[in-house]
């Protein structure tokens, strides 16, 4: 365990060193990320013109969901996406062999290979959104709610990572999945609104098939202090199931991997 912690530190340091070479990117990437957040905020501002709630959510509460969406996007762009996109490249070029030869868990190695710290500027944007949200609601969240929300956020990141890993595993079978990340982002975009705005079939999909509701609405409800026990059990159970499935599919895919040249 401590060995993997040490490995993580090494990988992080390598990424950080690389990132400090491109310091100007910090400003540019940061500005662009903030602009993208604005594109999510604009429809919300228009929708709440002259009304207090939408699908049972007030403006402040919906903003908390958007905050978690932004936070999750920062993690996705800064920590999950860069590494896993590299895996697809490895599989296509056959360089995955070099990773497999190393004396550590391959999933761990490929998942921590690359971080883009500059793309995580949205963490700050998310915090700003939370502050504005709770000023609009007119109270501050309790410490217990914050802790619970954080725990759920860890679940969200796990689910997001696992889903991404599943997408990557398809690269073992269908080699050209260049725009899989775009497709994934397109689906993930639906997580920006509270899940209750979706109805019928789409609601079923965002709850059970691609658990977007779990990723942003559940942590938001926890931070707002309105979560029930059933949701807690569902969220934790769901996270474990998704993570285990992803691990199983990864090991099975790896077992069938025959390198690019053979």
Is 149 a binding residue for other proteins by CB under 8 A? The answer is: no
Residue that is written with structure tokens 């920590």 in the block: 79
Judged by CB, which is closer to other proteins: 66, or 109? 66
* Site track for other proteins across 21-40, x = CB under 8 A: -------xx-xx--xx-xx-
Task: Give the footprint of other proteins on residues 158-197 (CB under 8 A).
Answer: 176, 178-180, 182-183, 185-187, 189-190, 192-193, 196-197
Task: Give the footprint of other proteins on residues 47-106 (CB under 8 A).
Answer: 47, 49, 51, 54-55
Which residue among 202, 233, 244, 248 contacts other proteins (CB under 8 A)? 202
Q: How many residues touch other proteins (CB under 8 A)?
A: 35
User: What gap in Å lies between CA 211 and CA 224, rounded to an integer?
Assistant: 20
Exposed / middle / buried, residue 92 (Cβ in 10 Å: 0-12, 13-18, 19+): middle
Is 151 a binding residue for other proteins by CB under 8 A? The answer is: no
Interacting residues of 230 by C-beta distance below 8 A, sequence separation 6+: none
Range 240-244 contact pairs with CB under 8 angstroms and sequence separation of 24 or more: 242/158, 242/159, 242/162, 242/163, 242/211, 243/158, 243/159, 243/162
Closest approach, Cβ 190 to other proteins, in A, equals 5
Which residue among 17, 199, 209, 261 contacts other proteins (CB under 8 A)? 199
């Amino acid at each position: 365990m401590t060995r993997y912690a040490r490995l993580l530190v090494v990988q992080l340091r390598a990424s950080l060193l690389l990132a400090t070479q491109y310091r100007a990117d910090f400003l540019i990437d940061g500005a662009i990320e903030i602009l993208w957040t604005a594109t999510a905020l604009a429809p919300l501002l228009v929708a709440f013109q002259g009304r207090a709630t939408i699908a049972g959510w007030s403006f402040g509460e919906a903003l908390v969901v958007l905050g978690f969406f932004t936070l999750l996007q920062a993690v996705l762009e800064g920590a999950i996406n860069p590494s896993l996109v590299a895996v697809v490249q490895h599989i296509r070029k056959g360089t995955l062999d070099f990773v497999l030869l190393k004396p550590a868990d391959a999933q761990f190695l490929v998942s921590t290979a690359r971080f883009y710290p500059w793309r995580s500027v949205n963490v700050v944007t998310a915090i700003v959104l939370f502050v504005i949200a709770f000023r609009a609601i007119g109270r501050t969240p309790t410490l217990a709610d914050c802790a619970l929300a954080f725990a759920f956020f860890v679940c969200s990141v796990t689910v997001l990572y696992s889903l991404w890993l599943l997408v990557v595993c398809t690269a073992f079978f269908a080699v050209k999945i260049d725009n899989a990340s775009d497709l994934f982002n397109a689906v993930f975009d639906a997580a920006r609104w509270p899940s209750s705005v979706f109805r019928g079939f789409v609601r079923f999909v965002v709850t059970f098939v691609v658990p977007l509701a779990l990723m942003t609405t559940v942590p938001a409800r926890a931070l707002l202090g309105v979560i029930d026990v059933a949701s807690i059990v569902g969220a934790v159970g769901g996270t474990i199931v998704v993570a285990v499935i992803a691990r199983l599919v990864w090991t099975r895919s790896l077992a069938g991997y025959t390198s690019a040249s053979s």
